[in-house]
Structure 1
Amino acid sequence: MENFDRIKFDPNVMGGKPTIRGIRVTVGAIVGLVASGYTTQKILKMYPYLEKEDVKQALQYAAWRADELEQPLDTV
């Protein structure tokens, strides 16, 4: 796994989904905003407790997960 030091997993926070620094902002929320056309600057205004590196790492993590190869289990 890459070094995603800002991406945290805690079953008690957002149901264990990957979050930014363990706060209640998920990687999925950030990716969804970017996909909807929000710039990093707009996201940081919406979430003033986030940092530019948080958004960058959320996108890097999502790209890494999307590129991860999954092998289907053989079913008989």
Structure 2
Amino acid sequence: MSRLDRITSHPEICHGQPVVRGLRYPVSMLLGLLSSGMTYEEILDDYADLEREDLLAALEYGALTISGQRLPLGAA
């Protein structure tokens, strides 16, 4: 089950970077938090409007883009 519908992009939100659900949380920031060793629970505690599915969507997006796939994003 893909969660990519949670990843959006709009020129006026974070300069068009891929973000989660139109919120100002760039996918790159979330991946950085995860790679620093923060747990899902720690991130969700720090960012109350995020959901576990958002973090999984960021991981899915990162995994697909690192393999060179270009993904169309919905507008925020």
> Sequence identity of aligned pairs in percent?
38
Show structure 1 runs of 4+ deviating over 4 A: none
Give the direction of change, closer, same or farther, for the CA distance of 1:51–1:3 in structure 2 (3 Å limit). Answer: closer
Per-residue displacement from partner, 1:12-65 (whole Å, max 9, x unpaired)?
000000000011000000000011000111110010100000000101101100
After TM superposition, list the pairs within 5 Å mapping 1:8-27 onto structure 2.
8-27=8-27
Instruction: Name which structure has the greater RCO, CA cutoff 8 Å, separation 6+.
Output: 2
Distance in structure 2 (CA, Å) of the matches to 1:52 and 1:3: 11
Rg larger for: 1
Unaligned runs of 5+ in 2: 71-76
TM-score (normalizing by structure 2):
0.85
Q: Which amino acid aligns with 1:20?
A: V
CA RMSD of aligned residues (A): 1.6
Normalising by the residue count of structure 1, what TM-score does the alignment of the two structures yield? Answer: 0.85
Q: Which runs of 5+ in 1 are unaligned?
A: 71-76
